[in-house]
Structure 1
Amino acid sequence: MGTLLVNILLFVIILTVIIGLHELGHFYFAKKAKILCFEYSIGMGPAIYQKRVGETNYAVRAIPLGGYVSMAGELQQSSMLQIGKNIGLNIVDDVVTEIALSPVVKTDYTGQLVDFDIYGKDQKPLFIIIETNGLQHRYEVSRTAMIHLNEKSKMQVAPEERSFESKTLWQRFLVIFAGPAMNFILAFLIFLIVGFFVGKPSTSNIVASVSENLPIYETGIKPGDAITEINGKPITEWADIRNELYNSNSLTITLKHSGNTNIHQVKLALVIQTLGITNYNENGIVDLSEPILGMAAGKADGFLEAGDKITKINDTTINNWDDIYVFFKEFLGNVVTISFIRDGVEKTETIEMLTKNAVSKLGYDPIALQMGIGNRTSFNLGYTLAYPFKKMLSDVSSTINTVGLLINPNENVGIGDLSGPVGIFTLVGSASKGGILSLLAFAGFLSVNIGIINLLPIPALDGGRIIFLGYEWVTRRRIPVKIENMINNVVFILLMMLFVFVTYKDI
């Protein structure tokens, strides 16, 4: 229970920081352009805390999945006032300072709305006309007047010069692009911090760390030991270890410790990334003498489960994990028929996997083997300063490749393979187990993802709005605000439906 609460807290903190800074980018440049911002909100749903400072309401909302900056121009205030409806006014020196749309708000004057202009195009004076006892009264409206929607909710009048659409194309571009830009800046700073601690990997064959959950720990290997041979082949540097790692699911390694030489047989943690199965679980590697699954995820999720014993893949009989390794190493297709035993009952499932090309483009090995050892690292200023650039490039490339795979029907990557909030929560928990550096690296990766996704040319996202600006720049014609808002709202609803679907697939 304690671990769950910690993971929930980490999940909320990470998303709050990433989304809060994204919205802060929009907010800062909107304020700089003198755009009226009604609200800066972190989260969605009902407010758990809010405070008005000046013309802006700052809010933290209950659901930490999103956020927004509500700007003048995105919300059409004129639609709030309806001709023929009763409204209330507070007037100071013949100028309206407050407009009440709800009768529960106390005002000095009430009447039926006859006509109004609270936008003031081309700096025209704002006005409002009400009818009381058969007589019409015209009043000037202050350009900073407040509109009371109800007893608790109010917003400032937004004349044209304070609206988003009145600003230059460059100012509007900066407001929109600043959100994703903040995600990239945050990720860069996170990776810079991580770079100071990870150190430059040594090329030496000396072991620096050993995982307690993997079989190699049982050999008694200690940090400082040297691996001198694997399967009879000399090992002189760390790259040699990786090269030999993919020749077999089990290795014969020669260790040198304090002048003594020992030979051990070591089984490896095996992950078939294309299918989503592994002989490893949170407690370590399961019984390697039999092909029993430690975990099933990805494409195998819903078909296979932890504890299933694989007996056959296509026409190949499976006796152990070595057989599974050899099959997938040689297999070039992406559809497999798997026979397995679950609770004493033999079952068969046909599964369409990810292609090896797709997994490689995502930055992973189609078949991953882990021995459970780490090499030495040392501080190197050049490596540290270069690290955030390399990591940014890697994560941006991975995210773009993922998007490309989604629209390529030949790669079998679908919307259901994406991670929603539940999947991200799970990943946060997994990253936290790897320590603070793993958690920071994941936060940076997530920030890059959010930045890239928001730049996709899809209406309702920042990228879609930039496309609208591009259309305006090329044609010298603006898309009407009502049409743009309608398109954004429709696509937003579709994105929310996708959000719910991906979340459902995570559960």
Structure 2
Amino acid sequence: MNTVIAFIVIFGALVFFHEFGHFLFAKRAGILCREFAIGMGPKIFAYKKGETVYTLRLLPLGGYVRMAGEDPEMAELKPGRRIGIVLNDEEEITKIIVNGKDRYPNARVIEVEKADLEHQLFIKGYEEEEEEARVFPVHREAVMVEDGLETQISPWDRQFASKTLGQRAMTIFAGPLFNFILAFIVFSIVAIIQGIPTDEPELGRLTSDGAAQEAGLQEGDKVISINGQGVASWSDIVAIVQENPQSEVEFTVERNGEVMDMPVTPQVREIEDQRIGVIGVYSPVEKSFFGSIVHGAKETYLWTVEILRLLGQLVTGQFSIDMLSGPVGIYVSTDTVAKSGIMNLMTWAGALSINLGIMNLLPLPALDGGRLLFFFFEAVRGKPLDRQKEGMVHFVGFALLMLLMIVVTWNDIQRFFLQ
């Protein structure tokens, strides 16, 4: 149960920050954001504030911000169509009732002759028993009612496509950017709480079941030598211990001004088919708020480089697609990490956030990187590509992405549950 909660919290935080980046910069650009969704599929919770509906959806496969103008949103008011309209005190239309007019007894019924709900914001039509059409101005925040659902109209200047190339690109780039920001914040918080690892030849925190604890070593012991070999850094200590699995080594340490010799037998740990020695000691740390911020930035950079390296191996064939993990694999890994403590779980969340940011920046259709690639082509051509063709490319890309997700998830199930 703890793993389920940890997975939900981590997944929710990663998706929330990603979508919040899109949402924040869309709002800054003046784009009408219709929905802010966490998850996909059927809604299990919805709350509307202002002009945005905030939803929680059933399937933990991502999230989205639905911006005005990106998809067909409402019925087209063709000539001859009969609609109901509700006016405010300034004689502006505030509600357009496409069907179900009987539910609005105060609505006036007109037959549409012409309508423009994007640029000039008007509806021209005939009321009953009138021979001459009348032009009704439409309020910028008017809503259209269809099948009982209200949808706010979106004037052209509130639509995504109306914004400058820079505003659109920044709105899309902000999602992955906020994943890197989240990772930086998480790594910095971990460093503030735990301290910043140093390379001093001292012992940090000891595990309760490690060889160091059993041998009587203590946190803060300064290591002078091991087996008579002088050590000048924490890295020296790690190297010697790893080379001696299950072989007794003699630590010479200084504690409170007293020098003492203490025999320790490193335990064995297997990493990638290699046996190394461990004694259950963390590296020494120092406390510094500013240093923690710097450390958070360094960790973000190092994880980014490492993930890019693994991605490069995947491209060159050194890393098999069978080794990729989907939601199932991430859940299993989260379970393993959660057992090692909250700080390790936070570090894992930071790494996942960077991974999500990088994956979304790949120049593939349906991903943020794919959309940014189309913006690059627009900048080179001096005009946008055909929206229908771009939409088809993204649709095909999304279908292939879902297929890859299914394959990866099946591989995870076979790897973790069917072997």
Matched with 2:174 is 178
Name the CA shift for 1:224/1:70 in 2 (closer, same or farther; >3 Å): closer
Does structure 1 residue 445 correspond to structure 2 residue 351?
yes
Matched with 2:305 is 397
- Once the two structures are superposed, residues 261-284 of structure 1 have per-residue CA deviations (whole angstroms, 9 ceiling, x without a partner) of 343443321211xxxx6xxxxxxx
Instruction: Specify which of 403, 408, 412 is matched with residue 316 of structure 2.
Output: 408
Matched with 1:484 is 390
Q: Any unmatched runs of 5+ in structure 1?
A: 278-323, 326-367
Question: Would you say the 8 A contact 2:112–2:123 is kept in 1?
Answer: no
Q: How does 1:447-486 map to 2 (within 5 A)?
A: 447-486=353-392
In structure 2, the residue corresponding to 1:74 is in which secondary structure? coil
Instruction: Specify which of 140, 151, 156 is matched with residue 160 of structure 1.
Output: 156
Question: Would you say the 8 A contact 1:86–1:110 is kept in 2?
Answer: no
Q: More displaced, 234-243 or 10-19?
A: 234-243
CA drift at 1:419: 2.1
Name the CA shift for 1:193/1:414 in 2 (closer, same or farther; >3 Å): same
Name the CA shift for 1:377/1:146 in 2 (closer, same or farther; >3 Å): same
Distance in 2 separating the partners of 1:32 and 1:183: 19
Matched with 2:326 is 420
Instruction: Specify which of 85, 89, 96 is matched with residue 90 of structure 1.
Output: 85
Name the CA shift for 1:476/1:380 in 2 (closer, same or farther; >3 Å): same
User: Across the two proteins, how many residue pairs are aligned to each other?
Assistant: 403
Q: Any unmatched runs of 5+ in structure 2?
A: 414-419
- Once the two structures are superposed, residues 199-228 of structure 1 have per-residue CA deviations (whole angstroms, 9 ceiling, x without a partner) of 244544443333344555554544455656
Distance in 1 separating the partners of 2:224 and 2:135: 90
Question: Would you say the 8 A contact 2:22–2:65 is kept in 1?
Answer: yes
Question: Would you say the 8 A contact 1:416–1:502 is kept in 2?
Answer: yes
Name the CA shift for 1:170/1:56 in 2 (closer, same or farther; >3 Å): same
In structure 2, the residue corresponding to 1:52 is in which secondary structure? strand
In structure 2, the residue corresponding to 1:443 is in which secondary structure? helix
Partner letter of residue 282 of structure 2?
A: G
Distance in 1 separating the partners of 2:236 and 2:184: 32
Partner letter of residue 505 of structure 1?
A: N
TM normalised by structure 1 equals 0.70
Name the CA shift for 1:389/1:39 in 2 (closer, same or farther; >3 Å): same
Instruction: Specify which of 57, 60, 70 is matched with residue 61 of structure 1.
Output: 57
- Once the two structures are superposed, residues 233-290 of structure 1 have per-residue CA deviations (whole angstroms, 9 ceiling, x without a partner) of 4445422222224435433211357755343443321211xxxx6xxxxxxxxxxxxx
- Once the two structures are superposed, residues 44-68 of structure 1 have per-residue CA deviations (whole angstroms, 9 ceiling, x without a partner) of 2222221222322122223343111
In structure 2, the residue corresponding to 1:60 is in which secondary structure? strand
TM normalised by structure 2 equals 0.83
Distance in 1 separating the partners of 2:33 and 2:212: 59
Aligned CA RMSD, in angstroms, stands at: 3.3
Name the CA shift for 1:486/1:85 in 2 (closer, same or farther; >3 Å): farther
Q: How does 1:373-392 map to 2 (within 5 A)?
A: 373-380=281-288, 383-392=291-300
Sequence identity, in percent?
32
Does structure 1 residue 49 correspond to structure 2 residue 45?
yes
Question: Would you say the 8 A contact 2:246–2:277 is kept in 1?
Answer: no
- Once the two structures are superposed, residues 315-361 of structure 1 have per-residue CA deviations (whole angstroms, 9 ceiling, x without a partner) of xxxxxxxxx75xxxxxxxxxxxxxxxxxxxxxxxxxxxxxxxxxxxx
Name the CA shift for 1:454/1:90 in 2 (closer, same or farther; >3 Å): same
Distance in 2 separating the partners of 1:144 and 1:382: 47
Name the CA shift for 1:387/1:145 in 2 (closer, same or farther; >3 Å): same
CA drift at 1:178: 1.4
Question: Would you say the 8 A contact 1:226–1:255 is kept in 2?
Answer: no
Instruction: Specify which of 394, 398, 405 is matched with residue 499 of structure 1.
Output: 405
Question: Would you say the 8 A contact 2:241–2:266 is kept in 1?
Answer: no
Question: Would you say the 8 A contact 1:230–1:252 is kept in 2?
Answer: no
Q: More displaced, 380-389 or 39-48?
A: 380-389
Distance in 1 separating the partners of 2:101 and 2:41: 24
- Once the two structures are superposed, residues 153-184 of structure 1 have per-residue CA deviations (whole angstroms, 9 ceiling, x without a partner) of 33112232221111111111121111112112
Distance in 2 separating the partners of 1:483 and 1:475: 16
Does structure 1 residue 106 correspond to structure 2 residue 12?
no
Matched with 2:3 is 7
CA drift at 1:75: 1.0
CA drift at 1:460: 1.3
Question: Would you say the 8 A contact 2:39–2:61 is kept in 1?
Answer: yes
Distance in 2 separating the partners of 1:427 and 1:145: 49
Matched with 1:283 is none
Matched with 1:266 is 266
- Once the two structures are superposed, residues 385-431 of structure 1 have per-residue CA deviations (whole angstroms, 9 ceiling, x without a partner) of 3201210111111121122111112x1x1233222112222232333
